[in-house]
Amino acid sequence: MKPLLGLSAVTTLALALTACSSAVSAPEEQSAPVIEHVHGIAQDPRSAELLLATHNGIFRVAEDGLVSGPIGGFDFDAMGFTVLGDSLIASGHPGPRTPVELGSPDLGIIRSDDAGENWIPVALTNVEDFHVLEAGADGTLYGIGSSTPELLLSSDAGATWEPRSTVPAVDLAVSGNTLYAATEQGLLTSVDQGATFSQIVDAPLMYLIAATSSGTLVGVGADGYLWSETSDGGWEQVGAVSGSAEALGLGTNDAPVVVDDRGVVRVTSQDSTVLSPVRK
């Protein structure tokens, strides 16, 4: 596993966009939405663009930093968000204009098969709000709802869920057959799909984590640094966040992307350059 080096930023222009219509139930247009809070980051499975799961919908960030959204006009609060194959999986709360069919007061599990233009309810509609969602390369979904710290697992794209264990995780990451959980007590790991966990003693205390396709784990530490696992199993600092980071994800070529006080920052081997802050 290779460490990651350096910082470079790719971020937002201020949002002054009109919402699109939805096939589920066409929301009325609204004026100049802004990003209120970012819960998650992922790469669009069909393009090189980034997707931001926010308090007021899913937004798209182009390679040149241009931001558009909310995609499809959907203004739900995407508390949980992940990519499963070519589909997007989300959870959270409805917004003022969210179609009632998606759930209220909680969305349960919803899915989009067209990059966020349309969404369908899948499971636990009205009754659960997943704050943590993560998908493994094998198609397994892991989630933790707001009603309990119990870790749940789904092997059928979120249609049914089974309990695995109780773990107070604030974030999850999957690398191969290994599940990682960031907790207030430290970094935990499981090799049996979350049935049992053990602690990685020497890992920094992190509250956001992500695993690259090569297996390298990266995370944002409570000390304000971005950490990367090294090839010998150690850890090294590869940058610092500004203020408190809201979200961490992976972009093109597994480059980590963090949202902090500067905006949406892509970690590469280049110098740090912030194009524009997120307007809130």
User: The domain spanning residue 204 has which CATH number?
Assistant: 2.130.10.10
Range from 110-119, 168-177, 225-234 carrying the lowest mean pLDDT: 225-234
| Residue 72 included in any domain | yes
| Residue 220 included in any domain | yes
| Residue 56 included in any domain | yes
| Residue 178 included in any domain | yes
Q: pTM (2 decimals)? A: 0.85
The dihedral of CA 228, 231, 234, 238: what is its sign?
negative
Structural domains of the chain, count:
1
Answer whether 108's CB lies under 8 Å from 154's CB.
no
| Residue 3 included in any domain | no
The dihedral of CA 182, 279, 33, 275: what is its sign?
negative
- Torsion of the alpha carbons at 271, 212, 210 and 107, rounded to the nearest 10: 120
| Residue 73 included in any domain | yes
Return d(Cα 226, Cα 98) in angstroms, integer. Answer: 35
Q: Which amino acid is at 43?
A: Q
Per-residue pLDDT of 180-239, as tens digits, reads 999 999 999 999 999 999 999 999 999 999 999 889 999 999 999 999 999 888 999 888
Long-range Cβ contacts of 30-35 (<8 Å, 24+ apart): 30/73, 30/75, 30/97, 33/57, 33/69, 33/70, 33/75, 34/279, 34/280, 35/59, 35/67, 35/278, 35/279, 35/280
Which domain covers residue 152, as residue numbers? 38-266
| Residue 21 included in any domain | no
- Identify the H or E element spanning 199: strand 198-199
Answer whether 91's CB lies under 8 Å from 130's CB.
yes
The dihedral of CA 237, 238, 243, 249: what is its sign?
negative
The pLDDT score that the predictor gives to residue 174 is: 97
Q: Which residues are within 8 A (CB) of 216 and not within 5 positions of it... i.e. 6 or more apart? A: 1, 2, 3, 4, 228, 229, 254
The yes-or-no verdict on residue 21 having pLDDT over 60 is no
Q: What percent of the chain has pLDDT over 90?
A: 67
Range from 3-17, 109-123, 266-280 carrying the lowest mean pLDDT: 3-17
Mean pLDDT, the chain, rounded, equals: 85
Return d(Cα 90, Cα 75) in angstroms, integer. Answer: 12
Cα distances (Å, whole numbers) of residue 226 to 131, 135, 172:
22, 22, 16
| Residue 120 included in any domain | yes
The pLDDT score that the predictor gives to residue 269 is: 52
